[in-house]
Amino acid sequence: MLGIDTNILVRFLVRDDEAQFEKARRLIRREIAAGRRVFVSQLVLLETEWVLRSRYGLRKIEIIAAVSGLLDANDVQFEDEPAIEEVLFVWKDRSVGFADCLIGARNKRLGCSATATLDVKASQLPGFIAA
């Protein structure tokens, strides 16, 4: 299994630079052809969401569709896929940030009874408490 960095994932998803897209595509295809999966860590996913939203202006629904498509791919493995699925489910109908949803899901999966926050919006998420 080969871990990929944010720049590989973003170039693969947005295809805004044909040469870099081709490098990313070839790298991913090479791994798949060798019977290996590509790995997306939660840090890479967090950074990817930020880049897609802030740099490329993608809307939440477009980001959710892109991540959902990757989750459905057999050749891509996410760090703690059930947590990512939970994040997408919680995030889609709320006005909080992706990062808050990811932090809450990750903390829950690591055994935290709750996540304390000073963020009023985040405190409304399941598993969060206002500090």
Tens-place pLDDT, residues 9-44:
999 999 999 999 999 999 999 999 999 999 999 999
Instruction: In whole angstroms, give the CA distance from residue 81 to residue 87.
Output: 10
Residue 123 lies in a domain: no
Mean per-residue pLDDT for 92-97? 92
Number of independent structural domains in the chain: 1
Residue 56 lies in a domain: yes
Domain of residue 33, residue span: 2-79
- Measure the CA dihedral 62/99/78/68, to 10°: -20
Of the CA atoms within 13 Å of residue 82, those in its CB half-sphere come to 4
Residue 48 lies in a domain: yes
pTM of the model: 0.90
Residue 71 lies in a domain: yes
> In 3D, which of 102, 64, 63 has the Cα closest to residue 82?
102
Residue 109 lies in a domain: no
- DSSP, collapsed to helix, strand or coil, labels residue 9 as helix
Residue 9 lies in a domain: yes
